[in-house]
Amino acid sequence: MGASPQPLRILVLLRAVNMDRISEGFLRCALEGGHTVHVALEQDKDRRGGATGARSLFDVLLDEYPGFSYEGLPPREETWIYPATKLRSAIDLLRYYEPEFVEADDLRKRACTRAPWYMRFPAALGAFRVRSLRRVTDLLLRGVERRMPVSRRSMNMMRDFEPDVVIVSPLVETGSPQGDHLRAADRLGIPTVLVVASWDNLTTKGVIRDVPDMTIVWNEDQVREAIELHGVPSDRVVATGAHSHDHWFEWKPATDPEEFARKVGLDAGRPFLLYVCSSGFIAGDDEPEFVREWARRLAASGDPNSKPSA
């Protein structure tokens, strides 16, 4: 990608350092386009599977691009942030009583554990299944939430960096405080963008309360989800592909098939299937038995290549 004739100053606000690979595609694209990018990390969270203090992708980008910088933000000391987070978690709980989520019992239970006490009792009674009560409660909660202060820390950070655009991700976690950045940017007249981080973010997380100027999604399914489940105007959503996986296309195999088969005890002369398991929250306790049944049916299919290896 060639340099942009009008380089931008881009402020990217991410939840934590473990979002480095998720954000790599659009960060490299912006940096290779000649833009200045500053990443601010809201949580001190090490990369999954990495040792404390291990180098992140952000350290690599720091070495590769003079226009890149990043920092970890200190904990927010604004006194209203705790009640605001609980209030936002209450709003997020209500979405799981909408007809689209009628069978999403696990998601509803998870949202309930994060909701404030004043939501748990009516939720336990099933009160929020009544549409009129749910609508009134949602309007009340959102009205109070909209009157929360604009974050001075967010505004000061933006005044210091003077960005041309503010990008947030993931935004949709239950009770997420990232909407405060959107409000601060809106107060300062700075355009905002949500980069959807994963395939399920618009269906299994919280609701978008503050609508950014542009929402970047993976595909047309997510376009529909943003519009129908979050009320994002259709002219503010664009599908660009699964940017979180752009770096996969540059990966090279570390070994050849024969060597890999020897390492894991497979017959190198036969094809094999890889089943990538889901999380315990999504799959529950049934997945190991499903894999065993799947393997048994393959073995009984009559295909000579599907018989178990010795």
Please report, in tens digits, the pLDDT of each residue of the chain (310 residues total). Answer: 445 578 999 999 999 998 988 899 999 999 999 999 999 999 865 544 444 456 889 999 999 999 999 999 999 999 999 999 999 999 999 999 999 999 999 999 999 999 999 999 999 999 999 999 999 999 999 999 999 999 999 999 999 999 999 999 999 999 999 999 999 999 999 999 999 999 999 999 999 999 999 999 999 999 999 999 999 999 999 999 998 888 788 888 888 888 888 888 888 777 777 788 877 777 777 788 888 888 888 888 877 666 555 4
Vertex 210, ends 82 and 182: CA angle to 5°?
80
C-alpha span between 11 and 147 (Å, rounded)? 25
DSSP H/E element including 82: helix 81-95
What is the C-alpha to C-alpha distance for residues 108 and 117, in angstroms, rounded to an integer?
A: 15
Give me the half-sphere count of Cα atoms (radius 13 Å) on the Cβ side of residue 129: 8
3-state secondary structure of 117: helix
What local confidence, expressed as pLDDT, does residue 299 receive?
A: 80
User: Whole-angstrom Cα distance, residue 31 to residue 1?
Assistant: 10
CA geometry: angle at 92 spanning 90 and 94, to 5°?
75
User: What per-residue confidence (pLDDT) applies to 10?
Assistant: 98
Distance set, CA 300 to CA 116, 177, 297, 309 (Å)? 52, 52, 5, 14
pLDDT score at 268? 77
pTM of the predicted protein model: 0.85
The confidence score (pLDDT) of residue 49 equals 45
* Residue 307: predicted pLDDT: 59
Tokens 């395939």 belong to 199
Q: What distance in Å separates the CA atoms of residue 290 and residue 282, rounded to the nearest whole number?
A: 14
CA distances from 19 to 72, 177, 208, 248, 249 (A): 13, 16, 19, 15, 19
Q: Which pLDDT score, from 0 to 100, does residue 45 have?
A: 59
pLDDT score of 310: 40
Residues of the chain with CATH 3.40.50.2000: 9-77+149-246
Pick the CATH number of 9-77+149-246 from 1.20.140.10, 3.90.1170.50, 3.40.50.2000, 3.40.50.720: 3.40.50.2000
Which residues are registered as beta bridge partners of 37?
10, 68
The amino acid present at 86, given as its one-letter code, is K
Which amino acid would we find at residue 140?
A: L
